[in-house]
Amino acid sequence: MTRVWITGVGAVTPLGHEFAVFADNLLAGRSGVAAETISGDGQGAPQFVARVRDIPVPPTFQPGMFQTRDRLEQLVLSCAGRALADAGLLDARSSRRIGLVLGLGAEHLRLWEMDFLAGGTRVFDPGLDMPSLVHRVHRDLALAGPATAVAAACASGAFALALARRWVQEGWAELCLAGSADLVTPMAYAGFRNLRALSRRDDSPAAASRPFDRDRDGFVMGEGGAVFVLEPEHLARRRGARPYGELAGFGASSDASHMVIPSSDPEPACRAIQGALEDAGIDPGGVDYVNAHAAGTPVGDRAESHALRRALGTSVERVPVSSTKSMTGHLLSGAAAIEALACLVALDRQAVPPTINLDHPDPECALCHVPHQARPHRVRVAASNSFGFGGSNTCLVLKAA
């Protein structure tokens, strides 16, 4: 089976928009969470969120034209255009069959909401419907390969990368752009708040996201995204491309249990992790780092810990596990892509990012934690878990190329 390398990265994150800046901040244990007012009218009490600012204009756009696009579109265009440029493929994009797969969980709900808050009527008037974002970006970047959006809530980005890898392996696309993105909007914030999924801490923004900690009480919303260039190894070698890593494995399963609450049975999530390792040809003992989904919810972190213990077996005692959501917040549909990026950082810097705010590890989450500070570590294989509403369990395996 064709090996698929990641040869380009474009990211917009609460910890910076360039790979090196993101890596520096991640390994320094910096929090991207701040107190902000997020209601549509700018009124109301500040909330703790990890937002992005100053979305970089991609190289194919004039700044004025870029600013006319809605914010989610700006986010995706910035990530995709800069990923192509990073891979050295910007000028060659029209002559190659480049595909596009985006993880977007609620694109139209976000679009309708932002339009409505600005006085628009798109949600009521189908005559104003536009092509989906993935097809607008496909057109703007003059791509010629297949394109689609996929969604599995917070696991959307993992499915996007998996499908793109598959299209590259099958020859449906010579190369494929793949990633995911999401925004914090007032209604999304209210919806998660009313689900009681968000942390209610109000003391310190940087301390609110506390995955695996005994005192965690929910997640902190974040926004941003990342898009990667996926390329067959032989093509990348031929043109001398720099590989960030190999997208080596993917596994997925469903809890088939509840629309919101993760199953207390660790078996389905365990099967997703085992499937990814099997796909990558890796034994549990060959894993050097796990980027956990752990969002900081009492039930979810505990369920994931049990699944990891079952999937990794005795290796769980020595494989470092961290949740970078402690710093980035939970980017929802964008989470899996940002956490794949965190794994590339671990491969590149030979260091494991920390879980900040892990003052008192929950005994129910007994793992080989990396609290507070990054740890130098030989990382050749990293696994990234992403679980989503609707019972979706996914795991990606990334290897040094």
Site for other proteins (CB under 8 A): which residue of 107, 140, 304, 362? 107
Pick the piece of the chain touching other proteins (CB under 8 A) from 25-33, 102-110, 349-357, 371-379. 102-110
Among candidates 58, 75, 27, which has minimal Cα distance to 341? 27
Round to whole Å and give the CA distance between 254 and 217.
Answer: 25
Q: Do the beta carbons of residue 396 and residue 346 sit within 8 Å?
A: no
Q: Which amino acid is at 291?
A: N
Among candidates 393, 208, 199, which has minimal Cα distance to 303? 393
| Site for other proteins contains 392 (CB under 8 A) | yes
| Site for other proteins contains 124 (CB under 8 A) | yes
Round to whole Å and give the CA distance between 351 and 356.
Answer: 15
The one catalytic residue in 176, 330, 343, 369 is 330
Nearer to other proteins, 104 or 345 (CB): 104
Quick check: is 154 catalytic? yes
Q: Do the beta carbons of residue 151 and residue 181 sit within 8 Å?
A: no
Nearer to other proteins, 25 or 185 (CB): 185
Q: Shortest gap between Cβ of 233 and other proteins (angstroms)?
A: 14
Query: Would you call 40 exposed, middle or buried from its count of C-beta atoms within 10 A (0-12, 13-18, 19+)?
Result: middle
Pick the piece of the chain touching other proteins (CB under 8 A) from 78-86, 100-108, 210-218, 291-299. 100-108
Pick the piece of the chain touching other proteins (CB under 8 A) from 19-27, 67-75, 159-167, 214-222. 159-167
Total site size for other proteins, rule CB under 8 A:
83
| Site for other proteins contains 88 (CB under 8 A) | no
Round to whole Å and give the CA distance between 224 and 69.
Answer: 16
Nearer to other proteins, 18 or 70 (CB): 70
Phi, psi of 219 (to 5 degrees): -95, 165
In this structure, what is the dihedral angle of CA atoms 273, 20, 165, 247, given to the nearest 10 degrees?
Answer: -40
The one catalytic residue in 17, 138, 154, 343 is 154
Helix (H) or strand (E) holding 368: strand 368-369
Round to whole Å and give the CA distance between 139 and 116.
Answer: 26
Interactions with other proteins, residue window 177-216 (CB under 8 A): 186-196
| Site for other proteins contains 61 (CB under 8 A) | no
Nearer to other proteins, 117 or 368 (CB): 117
Site for other proteins (CB under 8 A): which residue of 13, 25, 31, 156? 156
Q: Shortest gap between Cβ of 224 and other proteins (angstroms)?
A: 19
| Site for other proteins contains 279 (CB under 8 A) | yes
| Site for other proteins contains 298 (CB under 8 A) | no
Quick check: is 369 catalytic? no
Site for other proteins (CB under 8 A): which residue of 73, 113, 213, 339? 113
* Sequence-ordered alpha helix ranges (H) in 196-294: 233-238, 267-280
Question: Which residue has 């890898």 as its token pair?
Answer: 165
Site for other proteins (CB under 8 A): which residue of 28, 90, 144, 368? 144
Quick check: is 293 catalytic? yes
